[in-house]
Structures are given as structure tokens and as C-alpha cells.
């Protein structure tokens, strides 16, 4: 039950990023907002870790660890975020939300290929049902979307990048604590993204108002700090089962958009939600049984 609650918290926080970003980009271009978010989160995590933790494991990374962190940060932050944000020029926001549901499929494929872990039939069916649920929930958006092949290609590549990052993280025998891994990867990812931001962003469009401040605080602390700590915890337990919680992210996103931005929730949303919940249960039912029997 503890793992389920952590997975639920992760989905709730991760899904809130889309709405928080929509508020934030009203005051700053997307790449600038992203860089501020990652640098802020990195400073908070690294300062907290090195200032308060006295354990010997809280140290600077060594040569091999710097390489591992750079690879992970490039996949998980720089490439994924860069491609995803840029794809929004050619794809509707609803299509971007739908693309998140393909991540578990890529994770299953990469896990089977790189880790020798064969997914069970229940996990495969849970992914299929979950993806059908997401498709149903976003059907009204797909009917009216203005999306090009370029946008779909960029979205697909971004999902491959973040999925590969998740599998890579699970394969590495990390010696650093999660706090340092997260702190360094968001910082390195932000540094790698910075040249792209400097080239393609217009800094005259930045308006340092309260909306930008609250957006950065939420994206930096709730999403990049707490959300990623939950995600790393889930990945260490089981990469494929952790990916199942990504099915809930677009659905929480619909809820936040309705609550905070007055976007409508349709019967398609309800039907898709039920399918996603059933898919999640199917993939986790053995653990649910153990909780009930215990």
C-alpha cells in the first residue's frame, strides 16, 4: 500500500506540471521557464543535501558518476524537455498529453531489451487497456487538433528519450543518494539546455510577476523535487510497474484543467478514467491481494 500511495502522489504532482506551465508561460517563454525551474530545483536539492546530511555518501560525484549523471540528465531533462517543448509548435496540447501514455510501452520494450526482464501478460494487458483509456479520454481533443507529422515525430522521440532515461536509471548501480542524483541531474540538464534557451528564447518576453514566481515554486519544489524523488523510488522497486502510474497523469491533468482553468470534462473523460483505473489495478492486483490478505 505504501508503494501505491507514493505512485499516486507522483501521478498527482507530475500531472500538475502542465497546468503550472500554462500559467508560467504567460509570464516567460517555455524554455526560459524550464531553465529557471531546473536551476531552482537543483539549488534547493544540492544545498539541502550537502548542508544537512552528514553521511559519507553525501559527497561530490566521482569521474564515472559524472558520466552517468550526464547521460541520465541529457535523456531525462535536456532531450526530453527540449523535444517536447519544441514539438508544441507543431502539435496540439491534447496530443502532447496523449503521448505520455506511450511511455510505459517504451519502458516495457527497453526493459525487455536491456534488462532481460520479460513483462507478464497482466502487465502487457494493463498497458494496452491504459493506452485505450487515454485514447478515449482525449478523443474530443484529437478530433479538433491541428497536428503535423513533424509534431508527432518530435513527440515520439521525446517519449523514447524519457523512457530510455527511466530504464537507464534502473540499470545503473548508483552509489549516490537519490537526493544528490536528482539534484545533480536537474542541474546538469538545465546547464545542457541553457545554450538552446539562449539561442531560441526572447528574454524581453519575461515578466517577473507573481504568476511566474508561483509557477516556478510549484514546478521546482512539488514537481522537480518531490515528484522526481517519488519517481526514482518507484523505479528502484520495479521499472515496469512504476511506469503504470504514468497512465494516471493525463487524467489528473484533465481534472486540474477543469478545476483551475475551466476546461470541460466530458463522458469520454469518465470512460477513459475507468479504463485507466482498471488497467492500473490489473497490473498491480497481486500486490493489492497481498495487502488484503495481510
Angle in degrees, CA 174, 192, 178, rounded to 5: 25
* CA-CA-CA-CA torsion sign (10, 226, 155, 96): positive
Separation of alpha carbons 17 and 277, rounded Å: 21
* Sequence spans of domains, the chain: 2-293
Q: Is 276 left (phi over 0), alpha (psi -120 to 50) or beta?
A: alpha
Separation of alpha carbons 100 and 77, rounded Å: 15
Per-residue pLDDT of the chain in tens (294 residues, 90 and over written 9) = 788 899 999 989 988 887 888 888 889 998 998 899 999 999 999 999 999 988 888 999 998 999 999 999 999 999 987 787 777 667 666 666 667 767 777 777 777 776 666 777 777 787 788 788 878 887 776 766 666 778 778 888 998 998 889 888 888 999 999 889 989 999 999 999 999 899 988 999 999 999 999 999 998 899 888 988 898 888 778 776 777 787 788 778 778 888 887 777 788 888 888 888 787 777 666 655 554 445
Separation of alpha carbons 238 and 284, rounded Å: 11
Cβ within 8 Å of residue 258, ≥6 positions away: 264, 265
pLDDT of residue 118: 73
pLDDT of residue 187: 95
Cβ pair 108, 124 in contact under 8 A? yes
The whole-model pTM stands at 0.79
Residue 76's nearest CA partner among 190, 211, 239, 173 is 190
H or E element at residue 78: none
Amino acid at each position: 500500500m505504501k508503494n501505491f500511495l507514493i505512485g499516486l502522489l507522483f501521478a498527482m504532482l507530475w500531472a500538475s506540471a502542465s497546468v503550472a506551465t500554462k500559467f508560467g508561460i504567460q509570464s516567460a517563454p517555455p524554455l526560459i521557464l524550464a531553465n529557471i525551474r531546473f536551476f531552482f530545483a537543483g539549488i534547493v536539492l544540492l544545498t539541502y543535501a550537502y548542508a544537512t546530511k552528514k553521511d559519507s555518501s553525501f559527497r561530490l560525484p566521482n569521474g564515472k558518476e559524472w558520466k552517468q549523471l550526464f547521460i541520465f540528465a541529457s535523456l531525462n531533462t535536456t532531450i526530453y524537455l527540449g523535444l517536447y517543448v519544441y514539438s508544441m509548435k507543431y502539435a496540439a496540447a491534447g496530443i502532447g498529453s496523449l503521448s505520455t501514455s506511450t511511455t510505459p510501452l517504451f519502458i516495457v520494450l527497453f526493459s525487455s531489451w536491456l534488462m532481460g526482464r520479460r513483462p507478464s501478460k497482466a502487465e502487457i494487458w494493463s498497458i494496452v487497456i491504459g493506452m485505450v483509456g487515454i485514447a478515449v479520454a482525449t478523443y474530443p481533443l484529437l478530433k479538433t487538433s491541428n497536428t503535423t507529422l513533424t509534431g508527432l515525430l518530435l513527440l515520439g522521440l521525446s517519449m523514447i528519450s524519457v523512457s530510455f532515461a527511466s530504464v537507464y536509471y534502473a540499470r545503473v548501480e548508483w552509489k549516490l543518494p537519490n537526493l544528490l542524483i536528482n539534484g545533480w541531474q536537474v542541474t546538469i540538464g538545465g546547464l545542457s539546455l541553457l545554450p538552446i534557451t539562449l539561442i531560441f528564447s526572447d528574454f524581453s518576453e519575461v515578466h517577473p510577476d507573481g504568476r511566474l514566481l508561483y509557477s516556478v515554486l510549484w514546478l521546482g519544489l512539488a514537481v522537480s523535487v518531490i515528484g522526481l524523488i517519488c519517481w526514482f523510488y518507484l523505479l528502484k522497486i520495479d521499472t515496469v510497474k512504476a511506469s503504470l502510474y504514468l497512465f494516471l497523469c493525463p487524467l489528473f491533468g484533465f481534472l486540474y484543467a477543469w478545476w483551475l482553468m475551466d476546461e470541460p470534462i466530458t463522458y469520454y473523460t469518465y470512460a477513459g478514467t475507468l479504463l485507466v483505473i482498471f488497467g492500473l489495478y490489473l497490473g498491480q492486483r497481486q500486490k493489492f491481494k497481498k495487502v488484503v490478505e495481510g
